[in-house]
Structure 1
Amino acid sequence: MVDEDIVVDKLRFINEYTNDLKQMRGMSKSEYVEDVVIQRAVERTFMNLIQSCIDLAQHIRASESLSPSGTSKNEIESLGNAEIISRDVQEQIEEAVGFRNILAHRYGDVNHDVVYSVLHNDLHWFDQFQQEIAQWLQQRY
């Protein structure tokens, strides 16, 4: 059985990291590309945010005895297969897991234009992930 306190705690972290990233918006792309300190802050916050999504998915998958664990993307996939999150959100968060891997492991050079674009265009997927998990949890109790 899922531990409601763990889910709520992870949702709180996801919300905090998402809000932190929203506050880092506002500079032009050229300012962002030239500011290595801001780049590092954004990248690290993205890694923490995405890892929190993975951790939450792992907890739910294990607690609910969903499909066996595997990769981090499989953890997210198991939530989609169980209809805990929508397919659209599943696909976007799985894509974010790949993005996290690039940031964390530095596969090639990080494309700062891509990070800037994700910062400004894709944070709503994390809001949607939170909402869908919270709705699922609320329906259970």
Structure 2
Amino acid sequence: MVVLEKDNVFKCLCEVLSKRGDVSLAYLFGSVVEKSYSLHDVDVAILLKDKDPDEKLYALGSILAETASKLSINEDMVNLVDMERAPQSLLYNIIRYGMKIVGSEEVEHELIETLLVKYPDFKIELRTWMNLNPNPKVDSSIVESRIAELRRNVEYLRAEILTRSLSDITSSYKDQLAMERAMHRALEAIFDLCRHLISVHNLGLAESYAEYPKRLAENNLMPKDLAEDLMRFIGIRNMLVHRYLELDYSVLYNAVRHLVEEVFPKFVEWISNFMKR
């Protein structure tokens, strides 16, 4: 069994990456950093300098091979993450909890600024832990935009979907898609707003959508019954996002009614009172 110790892994990666001229920024992250060792694999995040897609693919492949050779492990044990294509939550973990291997502070800050532009909702979260804004506040523009998006889609569902029978809706592919899309957008607006509040109050990185309302409730920022209502929508949201072939439209239709008639009024009342604090 190979034991990959943090100090040795970090040293080897420094030797591999510091001599390359095509790496702008690199981090060691994952279990090696968290536990100081790993029995399974090594996670490395790489930000390459400008390259065309073919050159980038070749560069990442060569980095993987050199890293595996230096550590005397199989290439399957090296997980490379292209930071240009990594999702927001993963970038957060990499930058905050990882160990920077190579790269200047200037390059690191450029990446952060890119994230701020690309992911406006991430602004508060980044600035909090990077000490760019030591006293973060709820961004009213984010709240207003998410509530407007939620209201727009709820009103569509109320007027165009719930005024008709389920059989009428499911008889039209166009109406099925409209119901799915409006419901999806309404739920995304809700969870985006919850994520923003978690960031503002520095409640840590939520690894799943279910954690958004759960953490707010645990910190007495959201009523428990509302949080439980929102958590019940996670399954619906996942079905809509992942486009499962078998979607039970009777379940979706009932969820739409529950959102429009019960959860939406409670959610709007809660956020309105929250903003008055």
The alignment's TM-score, normalised by the length of structure 1, stands at 0.89
Verify the 8 A CA contact 1:15 1:127 in the aligned structure 2.
Answer: no
Select the residue among 218, 221, 234 that pairs with 1:84: 221
* Number of aligned residue pairs: 139
Report the Cα distance in structure 2 between the residues aligned to 1:111 and 1:38, rounded to whole angstroms: 15
Report how far residue 22 of structure 1 moved: 0.6
The whole-number CA distance in structure 2 between the counterparts of 1:8 and 1:83 is 22
> Quick one: which of 18, 25, 31 aligns to 2:154?
18
Aligned position for 1:8: 144
- Let me know the Cα RMSD of the aligned residues: 1.5
Using the alignment, how far apart are the partners of 1:29 and 1:6 within structure 2?
34
Q: What is the rounded CA distance, in whole Å, between the counterparts of 1:82 and 1:21 in structure 2?
A: 32
Q: Are 2:177 and 1:45 equivalent residues in the alignment?
A: no
Identical positions, percent: 22
| Structure 1 residue runs of 4 or more that deviate by more than 3 Å after TM superposition | none
Cα drift, residue 112 of structure 1? 0.9
Instruction: Give, in angstroms, the shift of residue 108 of structure 1.
Output: 4.8
The aligned runs of 1:1-141 (5 Å cut-off) are 1-24=137-160, 25-123=162-260, 124-138=262-276, 140=277
1:67 Cα shift? 4.2
For normalisation by structure 2, the TM-score amounts to 0.47
Going from structure 1 to structure 2, the CA distance change for 1:35 and 1:115 (only over 3 Å counts) comes to same
Residue segments in structure 1 that go unaligned for 5+ positions in a row: none
Residue 71 and residue 16 in structure 1: after superposition, are their counterparts in 2 closer, same or farther (change >3 A)?
same
Q: Would you tell me which structure has more strand in proportion to its own residues?
A: 2
| SS at structure 2 position matched to 1:60 | helix
Question: For residue 195 of structure 2, what is the amino acid of its counterpart?
Answer: Q
**When you count helix as a share of all residues, which structure comes out higher?**
1
Cα distance in 2 for partners of 1:33, 1:86 equals 35
Equivalent pair of 1:14/1:130 in contact (CA under 8 Å): no
Larger radius of gyration, structure 1 or 2? 2
- Aligned mates of 2:268, 2:221 — CA distance in 1: 11
Change in 2 beyond 3 A, CA 1:63/1:127: same
Q: Confirm or deny: 8 A CA contact 1:85 1:132 kept in the other structure.
A: yes
Task: Rate the CA distance shift 1:121–1:60 in 2: closer, same or farther, 3 A.
Answer: closer
The structure showing larger relative contact order (alpha-carbon pairs under 8 Å, at least 6 residues apart) is: 1
